[in-house]
């Protein structure tokens, strides 16, 4: 019983920590007059990805490869199929042309690169199947290039309609304090989640991979769900979409890059199926940008995303 309580407490701290982090970071962004799309792709995406980041750091340090890879891949699948699905059902999401042609393909590239690097042992004849430290460093270099691209976009001062005036704006000092409190909550919550997710897997007699792909991935993605669903309700597509696309890019290039750099992540053949689903989800997201109303994720498309995730979850449970 105590395992369940501590796991729930960990998720609560993760969610509240991410909430504080996003509020503080968004306030800082408002102070420096940064556009909604840039906020969604960077500050909000980074803040809502912090649960995955901290969980993976702890998982990598403990050598829990199944949790490290399952958390990220599961989160990316959940982000596209559930969060964008729910958000578009709430309000059809209008996606900018640049996001359609640059950021969404980048999420697909990230998933494809993960699959390639995870299976490069086929070509190198190595006995290690997974992400090595060199793979991790390569992912971090690509992430640095992505951040440079975002910096160039931000310099152009591309402004989207500011429909997020409800964002609280604090003083710079208070904003920094709120960010710090958010980080503390994230770190404590992540440790509780990792330790008790492993204990739960042992207790239930199931694989850590299944726990990571379902419970942990869903729990660490709750900040993205809350942020994007609320943004969709406020009809702010830039934040709703930018948060998810940015988060998926962060998850693979930054989080898995950092995790593999700390400790090589060993993969199993089952992981390839999940990586394949992540690739498929990203590809479908790109394709639906041209079905129905161009560059709009409609309600019916969002509903299909949700059905696909239910089918994937059933497959995971059957697979065990």
Domain 2-319, architecture per CATH = Up-down Bundle (1.20)
Distances 127 to 62, 119, 265 between C-alpha atoms, Å: 22, 11, 13
Mean pLDDT across 155-168: 53
pLDDT tens digit sequence for 193-237? 878 887 888 788 888 888 888 888 887 787 778 778 877 887 878
* CB proximity list for 318: less than 8 A, separation 6 or greater: none
Checking if the pLDDT of 302 tops 80, the result is yes
Sign of the C-alpha dihedral computed for residues 58, 61, 62 and 66 taken in this order: positive
pLDDT band (50, 70, 90) for residue 192? confident
Report pLDDT digits (tens) over 23-53. 787 787 778 776 666 766 777 777 777 778 8
Q: Average pLDDT of the chain?
A: 85
Q: What residues does each domain of the chain span? A: 2-319
Note the pLDDT of residue 161. Answer: 44
- Tell me how far apart the alpha carbons of residues 271 and 294 are, in angstroms, rounded to a whole number: 34
Chain length of the chain:
320
- pTM score, whole prediction: 0.81
Highest mean pLDDT among 75-89, 126-140, 240-254, 260-274: 75-89
Indicate the pLDDT class of residue 93, thresholds 50, 70 and 90: very high
Distances (CA, A) of 152 to 18, 140, 231: 27, 19, 25
pLDDT band, residue 278 (cuts 50/70/90): very high
Q: In this model, does residue 7 exceed pLDDT 50?
A: yes
Classify each residue of 72-96 as buried b or exposed e, where b means 16 or more C-beta atoms within 10 Å of its C-beta.
Answer: bbbbbbbbbbbbbbbbbbbbbbebb
Model confidence at 158: pLDDT above 60: no
Where is average pLDDT lowest: 33-47, 61-75, 86-100, 141-155? 33-47
Instruction: Please check the confidence at residue 6 and state whether its pLDDT lies above 50.
Output: yes
Q: What is the pLDDT of residue 160?
A: 46
Percent of the chain with pLDDT over 70: 93
In this prediction, residue 149 carries a pLDDT of 86
Q: What is the mean pLDDT of residues 291-297?
A: 86
- Ranking 105-119, 154-168, 295-309 by mean pLDDT, the lowest is 154-168
Q: How many whole angstroms from its chain centre is CA 232?
A: 18
Reported as a pLDDT band with limits 50, 70 and 90, residue 72 is very high
């Amino acid at each position: 019983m105590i395992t369940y309580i501590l796991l729930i407490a960990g998720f609560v701290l993760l969610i509240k920590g991410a909430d504080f982090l996003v509020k503080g970071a968004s306030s800082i962004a408002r102070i420096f007059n940064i556009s909604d799309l840039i906020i969604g792709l960077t500050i909000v995406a980074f803040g809502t990805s912090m649960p995955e980041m901290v969980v993976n750091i702890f998982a990598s340090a403990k050598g829990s490869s199944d949790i490290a890879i399952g958390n990220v891949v599961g989160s990316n699948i959940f982000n596209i199929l559930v969060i964008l699905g729910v958000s578009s059902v709430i309000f059809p999401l209008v996606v900018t042309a640049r996001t359609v042609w640059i950021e969404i393909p980048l999420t697909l590239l990230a998933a494809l690169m993960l699959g390639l690097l995870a299976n490069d042992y086929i070509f190198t004849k190595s006995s290690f199947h997974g992400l090595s430290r060199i793979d991790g460093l390569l992912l971090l270099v690509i992430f640095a290039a992505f951040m440079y691209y975002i910096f160039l976009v931000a310099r152009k001062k591309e402004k989207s309609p500011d429909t997020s005036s409800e964002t609280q704006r604090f003083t710079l000092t208070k904003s920094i304090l709120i960010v710090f409190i958010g980080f503390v909550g994230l770190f404590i919550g992540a440790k509780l989640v990792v330790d008790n997710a492993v204990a739960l897997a042992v207790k239930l007699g199931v694989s850590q991979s299944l726990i990571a792909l379902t419970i942990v991935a869903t729990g660490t993605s709750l900040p993205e769900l809350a942020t994007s669903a609320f943004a969709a309700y406020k009809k702010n597509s830039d934040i709703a979409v930018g948060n998810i696309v940015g988060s998926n890019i962060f998850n693979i290039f930054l989080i898995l890059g950092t995790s593999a750099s700390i400790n090589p992540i060993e993969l199993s053949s089952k992981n390839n199926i999940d990586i394949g689903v992540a690739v498929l989800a990203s590809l479908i997201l790109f394709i639906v940008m041209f079905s129905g109303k161009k560059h709009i994720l409609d309600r019916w498309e969002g509903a299909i995303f949700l059905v696909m995730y239910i089918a994937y979850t059933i497959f995971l449970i059957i697979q065990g």
